[in-house]
Amino acid sequence: MPDDFNLKSFLADLPHLPGVYRHIDERGEVLYVGKARDLKKRVSSYFQKNLASPRISHMVARVARLEVTVTRSEAEALLLENNLIKRLKPRYNILFRDDKSYPYLMFSGHEVPRIAYYRGSTSGKGRYFGPYPNAWAVRETIQILQRVFRLRTCEDSVYANRSRPCLLHQIGRCSAPCVKLISPDDYQDDVRRAVRFLDGQAGKVLKDIEARMHQASQALAFEQAAALRDQMGALAKVLQQQSMEKVGDDDVDIIAISTAGGRVCVNLAMVRGGRHLGDKPFFPSNISVENSAGDVLAAFVAQHYIESVLPPVLVCSHSLPDAGLMSLLAEQTGKKARVVVRPQGIRKTWLEQAVRNADMALARLLTESTARVERTLALATALDLDVDEAALDALHIECFDISHTAGEATQASCVVYEHHDMQPTLYRRYNIAGITPGDDYAAMRQVLTRRFSRVADGQADMPGVVLIDGGKGQVEIARQVFAELGLDIHSIVGVAKGEGRKVGLETLVFADERPPVALGIESAALMLVAQIRDEAHRFAITGMRAKRAKARTVSRLEEIEGVGARRRQRLLARFGGFSGVVDASIDDLRSVAGISDELAERIYHALR
């Protein structure tokens, strides 16, 4: 430990209070984040003679200092711990990838509600069902609701401007409330039946439709009776096609853990309203042989449910080692859940299926991982990198590319390859300004200077390999930047395109006077380089196109006399974007507040 950190004094001053502690190495990197009911007892336990495992001993040997944060309760410590784990990604914590938010099915809060696929906060108007394990499950459910209840899915801008029914009405997927073919009250009745269906009351909905069909028939309303007959038939068919047996209106999460080949899969299956919605595998990192399945389960439950919906029942393949974890989650989330480890009946079937799916997902990962490791090893060998197995897994490659259209909207991209895979959460785009349009060398100099000044200042780590999409000229620019910043130029590798820019004919160009290397079309190393380079190119182009489209959208509307910021905002909001404004008729344009007949004509002709 450094001289300025007195461990004995630090431990003596710790309070007997709940909180979060952080182990930090001499470089300032957080090694581990943990929570404690009693900070003094928990943190002091790391510095006893007999530690629980060699892994903990290895970690403690690297600790240069500690930091603690006192919290009001252990539940609050749990929340802070998981926020820090997600942000800092300590190497000794079991980490689950910070995935996108789970998808929901949304009923909007309109008089004539729309059903839609949705991600994000569920605190807005409307009603939300889910979460669902994947987008496919949401879209399948939407298709069912369209077939049975004929609910609208169109955007508000489309709905408000319909003059005749769309194709979905013609194929029996929408009741066309947009053109008043169904009254708002009758449409709301269908929405309520759809909600009951999603709440697990499909049988009651079916009986309700059947009763209404008989009433319509007795009233000699044969057309209405026929429509209800078709709706009942569609719902009955859906229920027959359900591959999973329904059990009441249960909301259950099933969590199965599989281990093999030094890797772990946590498979999460979701049941909502008694209907099995599918499952999703997670592959945590920073797992050691000392971590039990219970440890992994506890890490998953804490990290996942601190932000996601906690259902009343968790069916798990293993027991939680910390009996108080569920109480902490209940205190923090306001919802209680019961953990079932030895389920019976259909829940046992669900768990067995989740375990099989975890085994299969892990087998696929191990097969794919072997191939990815071999590709990374091939590249490391081709670049003459001296790396062991651990260093190979941690090999950090960054690739830079420049994209523009005739000098317009120049952007640079930086994509990252690490742990034998692309890491999209680490990608970065850089807006390039202050250069001669089309000067790729100046653009490359600017982005590399911005990125690696942070490395020279000690604010960021140096990648193991820096790939430059370009030949000798671009590599020379990179060499100059690195030399000016005092960085090692041996990590710079240019990817020079071959004849006809065909994949497989590229040549690797180096900044340290090594001779160029042509790996050949069969080389696994070159295929990996091409994949990374192509990803950088794709990422740069999509960013450039978005920037260019935004600039052109604003400029084209700004160029029209009489269209100021407020009117431009109203037009874009009214028609759902620039393309909607372009497609709008003069009558549509004049319906927007503040747009006169004369201005509507001016806008219409200016955008043609």
Per-residue pLDDT tens digits for 37-73: 999 999 999 988 777 677 888 888 889 889 999 998 8
Rg of the chain over Cα atoms, rounded to whole angstroms, equals 30
Where residue 439 falls among pLDDT bands split at 50, 70, 90?
confident
Q: In whole angstroms, what is the distance from residue 349 CA to residue 353 CA?
A: 6
Asked if pLDDT for residue 242 goes beyond 50, the answer is no
Closest CA to 174 of 163, 187, 161: 187
Long-range contact set of residues 376-381: C-beta below 8 Å, sequence gap at least 24: 376/420, 376/528, 378/523, 378/524, 378/525, 378/528, 379/465, 379/524, 379/525, 379/528, 379/529, 381/525
The reported pLDDT for the residue numbered 544 is 59
This prediction has a pTM of: 0.60
Q: Is the dihedral of CA 81, 87, 88, 90 positive or negative?
A: positive
Structural tokens at position 519: 């790996």
Where residue 245 falls among pLDDT bands split at 50, 70, 90?
very low
Per-residue pLDDT tens digits for 275-296: 777 888 999 888 877 788 998 9
Q: Residue 598 class from Cβ within 10 Å (0-12 exposed, 13-18 middle, 19+ buried)? A: exposed
Per-residue pLDDT tens digits for 510-522: 998 889 988 877 7
DSSP string, 234-299: HHHHHHHH--S---TT--EEEEEEEEETTEEEEEEEEEETTEEEEEEEE--BS--TT--HHHHHHH
Where does CATH 1.10.150.20 sit in the chain? 559-606
Asked if pLDDT for residue 355 goes beyond 90, the answer is yes
Per-residue pLDDT tens digits for 420-431: 889 988 999 888
Mean pLDDT computed over 380-386: 87
Asked if pLDDT for residue 467 goes beyond 50, the answer is yes
DSSP string, 379-438: HHHHTT----HHHHHT--EEEEEEEEETTEEEEEEEEEEETTEE-GGG-EEEE--SS-TT
Structural tokens at position 608: 């043609």
Where does CATH 3.30.420.340 sit in the chain? 252-363, 391-541
Closest CA to 97 of 281, 254, 270: 281
Mean pLDDT computed over 129-134: 78
Q: In whole angstroms, what is the distance from residue 415 CA to residue 398 CA?
A: 6
Asked if pLDDT for residue 382 goes beyond 60, the answer is yes
Residue 20: CB atoms within 10 A of its CB come to 24
- DSSP lists the bridge partners of residue 253 as 270, 314
Residue 491: CB atoms within 10 A of its CB come to 22
**With respect to CATH, is domain 252-363 assigned 3.10.150.10?**
no
Among 211-220, 421-430, 542-551, 598-607, name the one with the lowest average pLDDT: 542-551
Q: In whole angstroms, what is the distance from residue 526 CA to residue 382 CA?
A: 9
Fold of 7-88: GIY-YIG endonuclease (3.40.1440)
Mean pLDDT (the chain) is 83
Q: Residue 158 class from Cβ within 10 Å (0-12 exposed, 13-18 middle, 19+ buried)? A: middle
- DSSP lists the bridge partners of residue 509 as 494
Where residue 249 falls among pLDDT bands split at 50, 70, 90?
low
CATH architecture of 391-541: 2-Layer Sandwich (3.30)
Per-residue pLDDT tens digits for 546-591: 655 555 555 567 667 778 778 877 877 777 667 677 778 888 888 8
Where does CATH 3.40.1440.10 sit in the chain? 7-88
Question: Any residues with CB less than 8 A from the CB of 477 and at least 6 apart, and which?
Answer: 441, 444, 445, 448
Where residue 445 falls among pLDDT bands split at 50, 70, 90?
very high
Alpha helix positions (H), 118-155: 135-149
Using DSSP, state whether 15 is helix, strand or coil. Answer: coil
Residue 168 CA: distances (Å) to CA of 63, 145, 177, 542: 63, 13, 12, 32
Fold of 559-606: DNA polymerase; domain 1 (1.10.150)
Can you state the percent helix, strand and coil of the chain, rounding each to 5? 50, 15, 35
The reported pLDDT for the residue numbered 244 is 41
Closest CA to 227 of 167, 149, 151: 149
Q: In whole angstroms, what is the distance from residue 265 CA to residue 270 CA?
A: 16
> By the 8 A CB rule, do 315 and 252 touch?
yes
**3-state SS string for 498-561:** CHHHCCCCCEEEECCCCCCECCCCCCHHHHHHHHHHHHHHHHHHHHHHHHHHHHHHHHHHHCCC
What are φ and ψ of residue 244, in 5° steps?
-105, 140
